[in-house]
């Protein structure tokens, strides 16, 4: 690449990048040769002149540059091959004709700041097809939005593309929320299949991109243990875990969330799958409800804890761990002997070891012993980059009370 903008790091700031981490922070940069604007491809160099890859420039963000390639490659030449590689990985792990999945997971797919969920299903007017829900969360990628939309249309021919860029991190990038239809037509809601069940996905206003795809296989892993048991699905959102358990033969499912619209979706999804007789919902703060259930002597054979990310940054990790300990302690007290705890954390700021050690603290306080049956990451449509722990954000442990 001629006339390339070069970003030279301070001495010894290259180690993380060499080990696979794709971000360059503003305070790690010694000098910039050229005047990059948002979305420009910049060549990364160590202080000693070692080439570290090509990155997209985000002028307002502390994460000033995000590497997309180890080669000296213009973004225009990188975009479509990177997308094709991302699709190839999903095609190897999913049946793309029937299964919904995340087809682009940002940095881990060489497309920093870009998230694309692909939903396969049926719109209310019986139109079958696929729809994309897109989030553009970095200024460097936002500059390429129209090229991204074109590439997605060419590679996937979706019926429609919905943008859902509204995460709080946008502010750090100097970006405004951007929500709307980018291409084709997008129904308010569609019905899709997961683990053999029909779920309604609200593309326009559901939480995150409409449906939490990362837990699909963890829901199946929970359901495998649920036969005949009373199940508590805490932080249930639209009922992914609880309904999978009900379909797998749970005796009853109590689905708890603080969001009334989420619970309305649980009720509708239960009806859609003929599970209404076994599924009930309760609108409550799960922290309070777990205590209340314990006091009233209710016991369960399987409890799911899938709270939102309690830690949103480094400063809130300690408070987050207290939160995880509290709900896990309460849930443990609710378990029958031999009962299962499916406990999750989706905060990238809380690493696996601190999460598991917090659960051990909770067990000590609950005076219960547990076996760890499984530790599960996000489904393979959310791949993790080695050396980039932010991409290994989801932890799901399945424990059994002794």
Interface residue list for ligand SAH (CB under 6 A): 207, 212, 215, 235-238, 240-241, 257-259, 262, 285-287, 306-308
Residue 297: CB minimum distance to ligand SAH, A? 21
Residue 147: CB minimum distance to ligand SAH, A? 32
Residue 235: CB minimum distance to ligand SAH, A? 4
Burial class from Cβ neighbours inside 10 Å (0-12, 13-18, 19+) for residue 103 reads: buried
Closer to ligand SAH by Cβ: residue 105 or 212: 212
Closer to ligand SAH by Cβ: residue 241 or 300: 241
Q: Which residues of 293-323 are buried (b: 16+ CB within 10 A; e: fewer)?
A: bbeeeeebbbbbbbbeebbeeeebbeebbeb
Known catalytic residue: 101? Answer: no
The secondary element (H helix, E strand) that includes residue 52 is strand 51-57
- Distances in Å between the alpha carbon of 368 and those of 163, 231, 339, 359, 360? 46, 19, 11, 11, 10
- Distances in Å between the alpha carbon of 328 and those of 47, 288, 366? 47, 13, 9
Residue with tokens 């378990």: 335
Closer to ligand SAH by Cβ: residue 17 or 234: 234
Distance CA(387)–CA(23), nearest Å, equals 11
The pair of structure tokens assigned to 131 is 């729809």
Residue 91: CB minimum distance to ligand SAH, A? 24
Helix, coil or strand: residue 154: helix
First to last CA, the chain: 62
Residue 194: CB minimum distance to ligand SAH, A? 10
Residue 261: CB minimum distance to ligand SAH, A? 9
Helix, coil or strand: residue 23: strand
Residue 343: CB minimum distance to ligand SAH, A? 12
Distance CA(156)–CA(301), nearest Å, equals 43
Closer to ligand SAH by Cβ: residue 137 or 243: 243
Closer to ligand SAH by Cβ: residue 159 or 343: 343
The C-alpha R_g of the chain, in whole angstroms, comes to 22
Residue with tokens 């609950």: 366
Distance from chain centroid for Cα 79: 22
Distance CA(177)–CA(165), nearest Å, equals 6
Query: What is the layout of strands, in order, in the sheet containing 29-33?
Result: 23-25, 63-69, 51-57, 41-45, 5-9, 29-33
Distance CA(98)–CA(10), nearest Å, equals 49
Q: Which amino acids are annotated catalytic?
A: 346
């Amino acid at each position: 690449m001629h006339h390339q903008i070069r970003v030279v790091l301070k001495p010894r700031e290259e180690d993380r990048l060499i080990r696979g981490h794709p971000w360059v922070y503003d305070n790690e940069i010694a000098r910039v040769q050229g005047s990059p604007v948002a979305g420009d491809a910049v060549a990364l160099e160590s202080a000693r002149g070692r080439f570290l890859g090509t990155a997209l420039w985000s002028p307002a963000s502390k994460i000033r540059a995000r590497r997309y390639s180890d080669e000296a490659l213009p973004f225009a030449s990188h975009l479509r091959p990177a997308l094709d590689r991302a699709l190839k990985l999903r095609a190897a792990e999913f049946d793309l004709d029937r299964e919904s999945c995340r087809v682009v997971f940002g940095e881990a797919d060489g497309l920093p700041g870009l998230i694309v969920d692909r939903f396969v299903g049926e719109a209310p007017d019986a139109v079958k097809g696929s729809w994309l829900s897109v989030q553009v969360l970095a200024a460097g990628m936002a500059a390429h939005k129209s090229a991204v939309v074109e590439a997605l249309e060419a590679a996937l021919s979706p019926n429609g593309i919905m943008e859902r860029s509204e995460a709080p991190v946008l502010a750090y990038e100097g970006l405004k929320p951007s929500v709307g239809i980018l291409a084709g037509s997008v129904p308010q809601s569609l019905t899709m299949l997961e683990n053999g069940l029909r779920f309604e996905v609200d593309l326009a206003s559901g939480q995150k991109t409409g449906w939490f795809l990362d837990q699909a296989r963890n829901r199946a892993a929970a359901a495998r243990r649920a036969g005949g048991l009373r199940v508590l699905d805490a932080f249930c959102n639209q009922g992914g875990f609880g309904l999978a358990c009900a379909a797998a033969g749970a005796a009853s499912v109590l689905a708890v969330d603080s969001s009334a619209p989420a619970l309305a979706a649980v009720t509708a999804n239960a009806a859609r799958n003929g599970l209404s007789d076994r599924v009930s919902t309760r609108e409550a703060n799960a922290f309070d409800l777990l205590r209340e259930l314990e006091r009233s002597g209710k016991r369960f054979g399987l409890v799911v804890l899938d709270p939102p990310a309690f830690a949103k940054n480094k400063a809130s990790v300690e408070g987050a761990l207290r939160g995880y300990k509290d709900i896990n302690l309460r849930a443990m007290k609710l378990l029958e002997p031999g009962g299962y705890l499916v406990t999750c954390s989706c905060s990238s700021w809380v690493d696996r070891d601190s999460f598991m050690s917090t659960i051990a603290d909770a067990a000590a306080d609950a005076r219960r012993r547990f076996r760890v049956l499984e530790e599960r990451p996000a489904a393979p449509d959310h791949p993790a980059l080695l050396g980039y722990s932010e991409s290994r954000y989801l932890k799901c442990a399945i424990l059994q009370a002794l």
